[in-house]
Structures are given as C-alpha cells and as structure tokens.
Amino acid sequence: MSHASPFPDNAGANSVLQDDVLRGQWFVVAQSGDVPLGQAVARRLLGGDVVLWRDGGRIHAWQDLCIHRGAKLSLGKVRDGCMVCPYHAWVYDGDGKCIHIPAQPDRTPPLRARANVFHVRERYGLIWVCIAQPSGDVPAFPLAEDTSCRMFLCGPYSFEAKGPRLIENFLDVGHLAIVHAGLLGDAEHEAIPEYEVEEGLAHGVGPVARNIRIHQPDPDGTGRAAEVTYDYQVHAPLVASFIKSQGDNKLFMGYTITPTEEGFSEAWAVFAMNYGFEIPEQDLRAFQQTVVMQDKAVVESQRPELLPLDLQEELHLRSDRMAIAYRKWLRATGLKYGVA
C-alpha cells in the first residue's frame, strides 16, 4: 500500500519517500546541541525539507513549508514559543496550529492553516524524526545511557551511497583486516573464525551475531593491540550496533543511517565505553574519522548501489553469514529503498 507523501512537492516516482517501511523509521537529523533555543534549523530528510526548533526545552520537527505560500519556515523566527513565517508572518504555535495572521488580525485562522508536524524524540544527544506513523520506538542503546560509561557522538559522515550497503559494511567483519589494516586487523589475522548468527524476526528485531573473535592492532585508537570479541545487532533496517569487548572492557557503537537525498546518506554514531576515561574525546573521534574515511572509498564504489536481496546474486562466504542474515531480514521487512 502506498501513502501520500508528507513532502508533497517531493513525491516523484524515484524519490526515497516512496518507501512505506522507511517512512515509519526514526532518523537522526541533528545533535541536540545543533538546535539552540530561539533558532530554526533546516535539515534534509528523505528528499524533503525539515525545520527543527524549540519552545522551552521541547523540540519540534515540521515540514519546512508554510501552508500559505510555501515559504520555508526555517527562514522565519522563533518568537514567544511560536514559529513565525518569514513571508507574511503567520504565527504557528508549538502544536503546528496557525494562531495569528497579521493581514487579518481579527479573523480566527482557518483550521487547515497548520504546519505538517512530524514525530520527534531526543535521545542519546541526538534528534530523531519520523515523518509518518512510527513502526516502533527509537532504537534502544542501553550502554549509551549507562552512567558508568563515557558517551560521545560522531558524525554526520556523508556518503554517496544508500543505507543498506552502508549498514552491511558496518556488519562486515571480513573487511576489517583489509580496509582497516593496521587498526582493526592485519595481514597475519585475515581469517574469520566461526561465529553465531541469530536470524531476525520479520516484524521484530533484526539479526544478531555473537562472539566474533578478532585480533586488532589498535581496536580503539589507544594503539594497544588486543584480541577483541564483537557482538552485533541489527535494530532497524538502517540502524545497527556492536559491542566490542576486551575482557571486561566494552566499547559500544550504535550506527544509524539517514537518507537525505536519493542516493545520499548521512551516518551518525553513538559511542559508549566503560574504560579509557583518560583518552581525550578528540582522539577517539579522530580515530573513528580515519576508520570511516577508509570505508567511504570502498562503499561508494560498490555496484550495484542497491543491495541485492536475491542471495543468488553476488557470492557469499561462511564468514558473510551476518550479511546474509541482514539481507534475508531486509527482504522480510518489505523494505524497497536501497535494495534490489
């Protein structure tokens, strides 16, 4: 079943918006600190325009379009807990209702004079938006809320690639010793040992991979080699995470992809570590930047750009079984965006 797009001027046949599964997902559009009180911030999401603003502490995410003549609300002003359009200064309250029209100050604004209000949540220091009925909650990252961990954010990283290829890259252990040689693997340890995979549920959680043991010359940017164990989880079609353990030391990474335009994505990452409190955050972030840039060249080169869900396409190894489980699960979710 296909629904009318919440971004009416962007509903072309090839738009990423045409995907019903995507429209029910939560996407990160900004860090909380990117939207200070009193400011309207413009973002792109699923090929459409979104405006973010706050009244008091409450965050709002609306289609960035005034119903009167289509001006961008993000060019307007946030005033007295309301959004004021830059063109004819219609005033919208925090629920998106137009409460004042300066050209006809004595008339009650018509009921249709409303902003298109999206679902929005702030979690892990990120602003998550869903443009239709959410199919679930914002993904749960317990370690990112664990007070015994240090937490930090990375991104957005821009890619000229679609989400499924990016998430599969995140789940791919076979490339660590090659693409990230010297950091997340090396030439002496390219073989991938056996590991366990639990298939995802069609209308529930995605696949899980456990106990993937890998030798890493520099698992976290400290330069100290270690045998690490990865546990991966797919939370949503474009959200995955891992916990990388060295004994009791745990490094969590949540990775979430936001399709901004057809063919373009932004990746955001949430990190939590229960060790390494002495490492400057900028060093940890620089390390991730290096790793992501190594992936970028390869992932943007992949053809077809659409992830093939027919397992007869491309070749699969035993060590690819998390990727296989991801492809099977994507098919079960009914996602059409970024896959073939």
Q: Which of 11, 21, 42, 71 binds ligand FES (CB under 6 A)?
A: 71
69 binds, among ligand FES, Fe ion, none (CB under 5 to 8 A by kind): ligand FES
Nearer to ligand FES, 79 or 316 (CB): 79
- Residues binding Fe ion: number (CB under 5 A): 1
- CA–CA dist 89, 93 (Å, integer): 13
- CA–CA dist 225, 206 (Å, integer): 31
Give the DSSP H/E element, type plus range, for residue 294.
Answer: helix 281-301
295 binds, among Fe ion, ligand FES, none (CB under 5 to 8 A by kind): Fe ion
Mention every residue, 6+ apart, whose C-beta is less than 8 A from residue 139: 26, 235, 236, 239, 241, 254, 256
Q: Which of 195, 295, 321, 330 binds Fe ion (CB under 5 A)?
A: 295
Q: Which of 7, 27, 62, 90 binds ligand FES (CB under 6 A)?
A: 90
Burial class (CB within 10 angstroms; exposed 0-12, middle 13-18, buried 19+) of 11: middle
Where does this chain touch ligand FES (CB under 6 A) — which range of 85-93, 154-162, 180-188, 239-247? 85-93
Q: Is residue 88 a contact residue for ligand FES (CB under 6 A)?
A: yes
Nearer to ligand FES, 4 or 103 (CB): 103
Where does this chain touch Fe ion (CB under 5 A) — which range of 234-242, 263-271, 287-295, 323-331? 287-295
Taking a C-beta distance cutoff of 8 angstroms, is the pair 320, 169 a contact?
Answer: no
Cα 194 to chain centroid, rounded: 29
Q: Is residue 79 a contact residue for ligand FES (CB under 6 A)?
A: no
End-to-end CA distance of the chain: 19
Q: Specify the 3-state DSSP secondary structure of 268.
A: strand
Binding site for ligand FES (CB under 6 A): 66, 68-69, 71, 85, 87-88, 90
Binding site for Fe ion (CB under 5 A): 295
